Amino acid sequence: MTSMSSPDMVDLAAEAAATKKDAWDLGKGCELRIEWSQAGAASSSAPPGDRSCHLKLVSGTAEVFGSELAVGQRVDVFGKNLSCFTFHGAKLELEYGASVSPPTAYTVAADETPMVQYANLHAALQSKRDEGRKLGPSGGRTDTGPRCLIAGPVDVGKTTLTRILTNYAVRAGGTPLLVDLDMGQSMITVPGTVSAVLIEDVADVRRGEFNCDNPLTFFYGHANPSENMDLYKQTVERLAVVLDTFLSSNANSIASSSGMFVNTMGWVDGQGYELLLHAIECLKVDTVLVIGHDRLYNQLKNKFAFTKKNPAEEQAAESGMKVEIVKVARSDGVVARDASRRKAAREKKIHGYFYGPTRELNPFSRSVQISQVSVYRVGGGPMAPLSALPIGTANRDASDRTKVQKISVQRDLTHSVLAVSHAKDPEDILSSNVAGFIHVTEVDVQRGSMTYLSPSPTALPSNILVAGTVKCFL
Ligand SMILES: Nc1ncnc2c1ncn2[C@@H]1O[C@H](COP(=O)(O)OP(=O)(O)OP(=O)(O)O)[C@@H](O)[C@H]1O
């Protein structure tokens, strides 16, 4: 008997032949880590259309940074460094095209992964939530949930731990506030911002991020905190005030008892340490998780140490604040990123704002007459380092660095990300959050027009725009 195959069957057979597959059977509490080389997936010989690599949960239970996988679900992990953890055991597969250079994938035994410690941290925070609900607000706050800040130097997994604990809080029925003070590698919106958003769903495992529609965003304007520390502090203070107002008007809600997770930048020395203390203070943080840095852990421990003979005698040491400092292990899975990878991650975030994380959106190109908008900059242009100022100049005047100045719209604004401010007047720019962002694609001074990309098809909601130093070629 002769067998005949349809063209479809031939295609399927060809595709199957062109696909490679690796499989793992993970025991309880084990982790599968997937790591793409520094040169990255970009160097893969696979044509762009074929660049995919899918992780599939065949059976059991597994999660990626706290977001559960469904059995049979295929997640494209091409170019993404991640870990897949199982509490109860799982069979996993990695499928990739024959021309794709596969990532390094390896398993980690249950006694070597920090995931169990992370799960215990979640359990401790859950107890604080229960306790807060019973005892009511304290420490000058109206909300009762733990306010937890994640600190540590660069590349220790702060963002990842923030994501895991936020996911666990949501899975336990909470709606925590996610606050991002890392203006360089923002989780919530474009770089150069400090922002917060109420999280109601676990992070989408395919997109690798939370649904951050309608965040509360303040524009700092730079990807580096040292660019203008006074402005950064003022921006964080303003964010903290608005969050307190939100929480006090939502007292007794699930948000009030769910608490907050604050992701921070990796600058923990000198002035970076001061900024960290400033954030702990203005956000009224009660728990700090310090990842992978003994000195920072001890510094904070000394700063916020308190004796606890009995609750009535609790005494804060140096700071007057009661903050619990917890040391957390760094996962060996964290992949360090050099400056070029960080820049690429920033550009990807800006691109994702306009085109969507998986290119599912179409931004709108619009034009406006330059005379119809006003563009401002805070703190003037780039400043000379203190070392270049006359001897004896200890400090610049802080008011200069937070001074709002109108700038003329010139070609040098091309490729800039501008914030669209909710401010009614220029004096309100520092205290106002932003409606969103536009990307300047062209400035035609002769015609007096500016062309920009916007995620919205409608006209700008405000004619007050704010420029910083965040630029990107989209
Ligand atoms: N357990 C893990 N297994 C595999 N990859 C991981 C793991 N933890 C973190 N990563 C990856 O390591 C990279 C850096 O992690 P992360 O962004 O959490 O560090 P960070 O301390 O927040 O960095 P930054 O200082 O830039 O803010 C990310 O690409 C992340 O996906």
- The mean pLDDT of 295-302, rounded to a whole number, is 95
DSSP 8-state secondary structure symbol assigned to residue 426: G
- Please report the pLDDT score of residue 262 as a whole number: 98
- Please report the pLDDT score of residue 347 as a whole number: 93
Q: Residue 95 pLDDT > 80, yes or no?
A: yes
Q: Whose CA is nearest to atom 16 of ligand 1?
A: 157
Q: What is the pLDDT of residues 255-283, one digit of tens each?
A: 999 999 999 999 999 999 999 999 999 99
Residues pairing with 443 in the sheet: 450
Q: Residue 1 pLDDT > 50, yes or no?
A: no
Q: How much distance in Å is there from the Cα of 332 to the middle of ligand 1?
A: 10
286 annotated binding-site participant: no
* Other beta carbons within 10 Å of 298: 13
Mutate to test the pocket of ligand 1, among 160, 164, 291, 328 (most ligand atoms within 8 A of CB): 160
Q: How much distance in Å is there from the Cα of 342 to the middle of ligand 1?
A: 12
SS3 168: helix
- The mean pLDDT of 361-370, rounded to a whole number, is 94
160 annotated binding-site participant: yes
- Please report the pLDDT score of residue 452 as a whole number: 97
Q: Whose CA is nearest to atom 29 of ligand 1?
A: 81
SS3 378: strand
Q: What is the pLDDT of residues 11-61, one digit of tens each?
A: 555 555 568 899 999 999 999 999 987 555 554 555 555 678 999 999 999
Mean pLDDT score across all residues of the chain:
88
Atom of ligand 1 nearest to the CA of 266: 25
Q: Cα separations (Å) of 69 from 63, 256, 262?
A: 5, 29, 25
ipTM of the complex: 0.97
- Please report the pLDDT score of residue 47 as a whole number: 58
Q: What is the pLDDT of residues 134-177, one digit of tens each?
A: 999 887 899 999 999 999 999 999 999 999 999 999 999 999 99
Q: How much distance in Å is there from the Cα of 49 to the middle of ligand 1?
A: 27
155 annotated binding-site participant: yes
Contact 287, 162 (CB under 8 A): no
Per the listing, tokens 């970076």 go with 272
Query: What is the pTM for the complete model shown?
Result: 0.89
444 annotated binding-site participant: no
Q: How much distance in Å is there from the Cα of 158 to the middle of ligand 1?
A: 7
Q: How much distance in Å is there from the Cα of 459 to the middle of ligand 1?
A: 38
- Please report the pLDDT score of residue 5 as a whole number: 45
- Please report the pLDDT score of residue 401 as a whole number: 85
Contact 418, 462 (CB under 8 A): no
Q: What is the pLDDT of residues 377-424, one digit of tens each?
A: 998 655 555 555 555 555 556 668 889 999 999 999 999 999 999 999
63 annotated binding-site participant: no
Q: Residue 319 pLDDT > 70, yes or no?
A: no
User: Pairing relation of β-strands 53-60 and 90-97?
Assistant: antiparallel
Q: Residue 235 pLDDT > 60, yes or no?
A: yes
- Give the whole-angstrom CA distance, residue 30 versus residue 111: 8
Atom of ligand 1 nearest to the CA of 156: 21
Residues with CB under 6 A from ligand 1: 33, 81-83, 154-160, 182, 185, 266, 331, 333-335
- Give the whole-angstrom CA distance, residue 237 versus residue 141: 15
